[in-house]
């Protein structure tokens, strides 16, 4: 049996609150007009989506669903300009297949971790 981490309560906006806010904003964004435009742009007459990544190994092949991704990373949850970066026009969004979205996300996470690991003297 594993032990649960004790949640430290914060008087104000804590990490758990930020996660809830991020989740709620994500749900709102999924129904936004720019996201619907991206999905419409990726939907072909045969009823399947196509990945917009030019380097996709499955380029042109139908996929059952796409994941709408920000071309530029959003950044820290709750950071300055977070809402403005989350809700952008459809020109700054892309529809990616699951493989391409996962690959891009992993690259962004590695780059972010690398920046955090660099310490200045």
pLDDT at 119 over 60: no
Instruction: Find which of 10-14, 15-19, 54-58 is predicted with most confidence, using mean pLDDT.
Output: 54-58
- In a 10 Å sphere around its CB, with 0-12 CB exposed, 13-18 middle and 19+ buried, how is residue 19 labelled? exposed
Encode pLDDT of 59-110 as tens digits.
889 999 999 999 998 877 777 888 888 899 999 999 999 999 999 999 998 9
**E strand or H helix at 95, and its extent?**
strand 93-96
Average pLDDT over residues 35-46: 95
State residue 82 phi and psi, 5-degree precision: -60, -50
Place of tokens 């971790």: 113
For residue 77, the Cα-to-chain-centroid distance in whole angstroms is: 12
Joined tokens for residue 75: 């950044």
Dist. CA 121–CA 90, nearest whole Å: 41
Higher pLDDT, 108 or 13: 108
Q: Name the pLDDT band for 121 (thresholds 50, 70, 90).
A: very low
Q: Name the pLDDT band for 51 (thresholds 50, 70, 90).
A: very high
Whether the Cβ atoms of residue 38 and residue 28 lie closer than 8 Å to each other: no
Average pLDDT over residues 21-40: 92
Average pLDDT over residues 14-31: 88
Whether the Cβ atoms of residue 74 and residue 84 lie closer than 8 Å to each other: no
| Segments in 1-121 forming alpha helices (H) | 15-30, 33-42, 82-86, 98-117
Q: Whose CA is closest to 49, among 113, 102, 100?
A: 100
């Amino acid at each position: 049996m594993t032990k649960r981490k004790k949640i430290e309560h914060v008087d104000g906006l804590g990490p758990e609150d930020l996660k809830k806010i991020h989740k709620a904003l994500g749900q709102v964004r999924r129904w936004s007009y720019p996201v619907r435009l991206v999905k419409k742009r990726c939907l072909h007459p045969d009823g399947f989506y196509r990945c917009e990544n030019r380097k996709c190994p499955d380029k042109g092949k139908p996929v059952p669903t796409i994941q709408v991704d920000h071309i530029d990373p959003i950044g820290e949850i709750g950071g300055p300009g977070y809402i403005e970066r989350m809700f952008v026009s459809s020109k700054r969004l892309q529809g990616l297949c699951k493989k391409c979205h996962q690959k891009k996300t992993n690259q962004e996470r590695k780059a972010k971790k690398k920046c955090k690991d660099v310490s200045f003297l």
